[in-house]
């Protein structure tokens, strides 16, 4: 196996020429023969370097409007030839094919063209054929060839040319090859996903290029990595890096707050809201959200959908919290919030979020559409003698938004656009209700006139009976149980209103 290879011949054909100039100067200094095509060839000549047109090497012109330029044995033979195989070397000599030791090639901007909203013909023309073939060929033959497939790697190549005088080690070439195969596989995945927009094949493919190595996973003995562009999602104003558990809670917080348009603040612990309120002013929303459960709020994740001002920041700063997210902050608010160096303060940016979610399961992956449905008063069907008032309908709508984002089995109590208590993640619905009643009472909430929302139907009438006895005057549930009538009868007996939505919101 070849360990050190001296670069003598290079093939350069790129779409992006940013930061390519220093590399051309280094190759010229080292006396490397350069082969190129089209715009890259012109660019190299403009820098005063000699360059051989690929057409002169192949004795064949670029054809089909540039679709076929480098697809020729004299190009690929020079890339794929094994330096240690006598037969390969004899054929190179027989057909006058130069060994190509360095390939600098990138790909047409397919993803960018799709995102621009271009038509199908323009998108199809951005499916690279020659470039992807050159990348794979050079990466395959990494024992003898250096492949640079991204402008992000130009600086690394430039340093190697300067410090090693055109020689590369096997480890360096393998590293470049690994990056190249990552680029080619990501490119193919993007093309597949484009063709799967109208008719999906039952195939799971995802490719995310950016990543953040986390301090650890859910627990210190677990490794953790976030794949995605956090910098596009948030601007960090203060604090340490987000942990795995922070990210899970932040994801839940973002999903919950996006249900609300009026000024709202939510406090979450372990992905569940322990406090949330909507008010005319954000400071009022904070005070009432915290009142729901100030004990659980300690060390939580806070999210707002309105600007945080100095008065609100001063109130929030009285609590120990892990993360605060808002669309904006006043300068005075930032100054107050930065008083504790480890507090993570994030400005949320307007980023389009995925509409599907997936996770590993057993020996595979499960994927589903995100639950992006929420039922308002127009989708609530009254099923009892007593009709809900307009005020109760508004509270039921609020409660339904919260229960949708709470771990099953769950029920939530709400009144005046404020969460009063919730029963979270219980193995029976009646246990969730009992838990919520105890929590409401422990923090001094009077449930008289409150509403209750359930994420799924009531299998028995006990939940309705206990809720009415606690003071609840209106109940929301999806319905769908064979014993729905038992719950309806109990609501009528207790003189409370019940509505059904027909939509279940399990969250596991």
pLDDT single digits (tens) 25-76: 999 999 999 999 888 999 999 999 999 998 888 877 777 777 777 778 888 8
> Per-residue pLDDT averaged across 180-200, rounded?
89
Per-residue confidence (pLDDT) for residue 457, from 0 to 100: 96
- Worst-scoring range by mean pLDDT, 15-24, 72-81, 114-123, 195-204? 195-204
Query: Which residue in 25, 140, 386, 391 is the catalytic one?
Result: 140
pLDDT above 70 for 399: yes
For the cut 80, the answer to whether the pLDDT of residue 200 exceeds it is no
Structure tokens at 335: 């100054």
* pTM of the full structure: 0.85
- Specify the range with the lowest mean pLDDT, choosing from 89-98, 153-162, 428-437: 89-98
**pLDDT at residue number 1:** 43
Assess whether pLDDT exceeds 70 at residue 101: yes
Query: What digits encode the pLDDT tens for the residues 268-279?
Result: 999 999 999 999
- What are the Cα distances from residue 98, in Å, to 52, 54, 160, 483? 12, 12, 23, 81
Which residue is catalytic, options 25, 126, 151, 270? 270
Give the mean pLDDT of 426-451. 96
Q: What's the pLDDT score for residue 71?
A: 78
Q: Which residue has the tokens 């399961």?
A: 361
Determine which of 68-77, 179-188, 261-270, 297-306 has the lowest per-residue pLDDT on average: 68-77
For residue 479, the model assigns a pLDDT of 96
Cβ neighbors of 142 (< 8 A, separation 6 or more) are 170, 173, 174, 176, 177
Indicate if the pLDDT at residue 155 is higher than 70. yes
User: How far, in Å, are 94, 110, 191, 431 from residue 201 at the CA level?
Assistant: 47, 21, 13, 42
Listed range (58-67, 245-254, 308-317, 344-353) with the worst mean pLDDT:
58-67
Q: Report the number of secondary-structure helices (H) and strands (E) in the chain.
A: 19, 23
Q: Is 140 a catalytic residue?
A: yes
Contact 427, 409 (CB under 8 A): yes
């Amino acid at each position: 196996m070849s360990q050190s290879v001296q670069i003598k011949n290079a093939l350069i054909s790129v779409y992006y020429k940013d930061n390519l100039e220093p590399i051309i100067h280094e190759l010229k200094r080292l006396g490397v023969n350069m082969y190129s095509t089209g715009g890259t060839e012109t660019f190299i000549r403009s820098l005063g370097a000699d360059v051989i047109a690929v057409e002169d090497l192949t004795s064949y012109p670029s054809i089909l409007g540039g679709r076929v330029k480098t697809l020729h044995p004299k190009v690929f033979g020079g890339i794929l030839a094994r330096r240690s195989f006598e037969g390969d070397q004899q054929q190179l000599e027989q057909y006058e094919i130069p060994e190509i030791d360095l390939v600098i090639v990138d790909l047409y901007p397919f993803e960018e063209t799709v995102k621009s909203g271009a038509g199908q013909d323009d998108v199809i023309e951005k499916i690279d054929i020659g470039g992807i073939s050159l990348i794979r060929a050079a990466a395959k033959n990494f024992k003898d060839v250096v492949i640079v497939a991204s402008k992000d790697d130009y600086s690394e190549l430039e340093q190697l040319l300067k410090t090693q005088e055109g020689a590369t080690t096997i480890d360096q070439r393998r590293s470049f090859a690994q990056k190249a195969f990552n680029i080619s596989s990501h490119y193919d995945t993007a093309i597949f996903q484009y063709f799967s927009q109208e008719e999906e094949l039952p195939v799971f493919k995802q490719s995310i290029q950016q990543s953040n190595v986390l301090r650890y996973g859910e627990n210190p003995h677990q490794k953790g990595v976030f794949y995605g562009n956090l910098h596009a999602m948030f601007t960090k104003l203060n604090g340490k890096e987000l942990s795995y558990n922070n990210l899970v809670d932040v994801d839940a917080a973002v999903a919950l707050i996006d249900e609300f348009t009026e000024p709202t603040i939510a406090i979450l612990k372990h992905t569940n809201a322990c406090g949330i309120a909507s008010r005319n002013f954000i400071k009022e929303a904070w005070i009432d959200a915290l009142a729901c459960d100030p004990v659980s709020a300690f060390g939580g994740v806070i999210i707002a959908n309105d600007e945080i001002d100095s008065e609100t920041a001063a109130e929030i700063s009285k609590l120990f919290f892990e993360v605060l997210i808002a669309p904006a902050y006043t300068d005075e608010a930032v100054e107050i919030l930065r008083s504790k160096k480890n507090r993570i303060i994030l400005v949320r940016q307007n980023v389009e979020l995925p509409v599907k979610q997936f996770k590993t399961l057993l020996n595979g992956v499960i994927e589903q559409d995100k639950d992006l449905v929420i039922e308002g008063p127009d989708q609530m069907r009254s099923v009892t003698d007593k009709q809900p008032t307009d005020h109760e309908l508004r509270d039921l709508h609020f409660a339904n938004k919260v229960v949708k984002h709470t771990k099953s089995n769950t029920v939530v109590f709400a009144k005046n656009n404020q969460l009063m208590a919730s029963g979270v993640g219980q193995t029976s619905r009646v246990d969730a209700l009992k838990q919520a009643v105890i929590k409401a009472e422990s923090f001094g909430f009077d449930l008289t006139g409150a509403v209750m929302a359930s994420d799924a139907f009531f299998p028995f009438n006990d939940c309705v009976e206990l809720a009415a006895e606690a003071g609840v005057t209106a109940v929301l549930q999806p319905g769908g149980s064979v014993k729905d009538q038992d719950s309806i009868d109990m609501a009528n007996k207790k003189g409370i209103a019940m509505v059904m939505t027909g939509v279940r919101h399990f969250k596991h």
